[in-house]
Structure 1
Amino acid sequence: MSPPTSASDLIRSHLSRVSQLRAQAQAEGLQAAVDEIKHLQARRFRGTYADFLEHPKYAPATRFFLDELYGVHDFARRDAQFARIAGALERLFPEAVAQLATDLSETHALTEVLDHQLATHWLSLDAAHSPSERYIVAWRSTDARASRERQLAVVQHMGLELQRLTRMKTLRLGLRMMRNPARAAGLDALQHFLETGFDAFAALGDARPFLDTIRGRESGWVQALFDEDLAACRRRLDEELDSRA
């Protein structure tokens, strides 16, 4: 029986997959399509959570998800920093921090895999179609329902871990004290991610209503994008995209 895979091994494996997909997208001429997919998804997210983005209590956590998980950014520096200290996370931090990093890397890898698949199908479709219809057809062509459900489950777990970590006051203080050493060590992107997540979820108090709403809305979108009548789904998606154009 093989020993269980360590958090550091999982983190490095997930981030290696992301790096491979980035290189593949560049080599295969998919990068522009991947970026277009990411921009469309970010607009949809802003439309779906427009109420949260304007809510004093929920806005920081919503922006954290949008910017740190689904944002249209180059996360290569942060990824490299996570991979570089993956082993140290297990040695120096509570288990929950290592689990948080594992969740982040898995979410990151799942998102890249799914976006890569979407981009491949997106390019095979007639560009005369509206972006929303093209997106829905590409989504259905990936036939990745299980991966979508796993993606949502990992994000939910990450949110619960962040809530648990915010209750460890000594850990939060320790993070603040690490700012200058982290910058000096070239770990500023990783430090920013951890501090932003801690601050956002500390502001929530009880994160469950926030996470329950995300689960409900995203599950609804997963079902609609797979199963709803194409014309009806296109109208709904257009409304979300137009609301935050």
Structure 2
Amino acid sequence: MNKDTLVVELERHLREVAAEREAARRDPALQAARTAVKRYQAARLAATHPDLLAAPDTREAAGFFLNDIYGAHDLGRREADLERIVPSLHRLLPYEPLHTITGAIALDALTEKLDTGMARVLGSDFDEGGYLAAYRSASAPQDRARQLDLVQQLGDSLCTLVRIPLLSLTLSVMRAPARLAGVSDLHHFLERGFGSFKKMKKPANFVDTIVGRERRAMGHIYAGRKEPFDVF
């Protein structure tokens, strides 16, 4: 895949994300339900990976995944930043950072779709039993598997970034121009992801741990197993 193809994919995923969020904005009940689903999932992830959030080596990276990848807050500003500067990204960014951004938005687009499906079934008031039933009825196993594939790919991409010489310096130099261009949210996302992975001794092990646990949890849910998030 070359940069031209990446940009086409990036633009398509940005349109998908925008469509999901616009539909929710037009329906306050759906918006509230989506927010409830996202908050529940963020809390569940924190409960499933407490060791990664507590360990000094992985704390920042775990926080990045929970807040910037699975976060309950609105990431629309980041996507709006991207839509405005896609042509500049194609021209200025090397392949690897562009690949990372595209992967993050691909994951975002699928997650938004899955969250909307869950929200339509659950509403804004539900318990774990309701959540698990909706997970099975409102999302296909292949879509959930694809979501975790994208998490793995994004993590692997960040592992690649930290091995690129001088990229840390490049991101630092870009900070002021990004602020002047009005794309600080996007730049902060890149810096947080890169910085948190750069600090880990074994970032690939971190990615494999998260994805492995989540794959086991997914299998437990679809199998109807009690205590599906007991994945250690």
* TM-score normalised by the chain length of structure 2: 0.92
Paired position in structure 1 for 2:10: 11
Q: Does residue 178 of structure 1 match 2:174?
A: yes
Among 136, 139, 144, the residue aligned to 1:140: 136
Q: Where do 5+ consecutive residues of structure 1 fail to align?
A: 241-245
What is the CA-CA distance between 1:23 and the residue it aligns to?
1.7
1:17 Cα offset (Å): 1.1
1:198 has 2:194 as partner: yes
1: CA distance, partners of 2:223 / 2:4: 36
What TM-score do you get using the length of structure 1 for normalisation?
A: 0.87
* Residues 101, 122 of structure 1: alpha-carbon distance in 2 compared, 3 angstrom cutoff: same
8 Å Cα contact 1:7-1:86 kept in structure 2: no
The number of equivalent residue pairs is: 229
Q: Is the 8 A contact 1:166 1:201 kept in 2?
A: yes
**Alignment match, 1:86:** 86
List per-residue Cα deviations over 1:146-190 (Å, max 9, x = no partner): 111111111111111111111223221011011111101101001
Aligned AA for 1:10?
Answer: E
Q: What corresponds to 1:26 in structure 2?
A: 25
1:160 and 1:90 map into 2 onto residues whose CA distance is: 21
Task: State which drifts further: 188-197 or 140-149.
Answer: 140-149
Corresponding position: 1:68 with 2:64: no
Separation in 1 of the partners of 2:163 and 2:11?
28
Q: 1:4 to 1:180 in 2, by over 3 A?
A: closer
Q: SS of the residue aligned with 1:74?
A: coil
8 Å CA contact retained: 2:24, 2:31:
yes
Q: Offset of 1:5 from its aligned partner?
A: 6.8
Residue in structure 2 matching 1:163, options 154, 159, 163: 159
Change (3 A) 1:78 1:131: same
Structure 2 unpaired stretches of 5+? none
Q: Once structures 1 and 2 are overlaid, which stretch shifts more, 111-120 or 6-15?
A: 6-15
Q: Check the 8 A contact 1:163/1:207 in 2, yes or no.
A: yes
Between structure 1 and structure 2, the one with the greater Rg is 1
Distance 1:4 1:88, change over 3 A: closer
Q: Name the CA distance, whole Å, in 2 between partners of 1:87 and 1:98.
A: 11
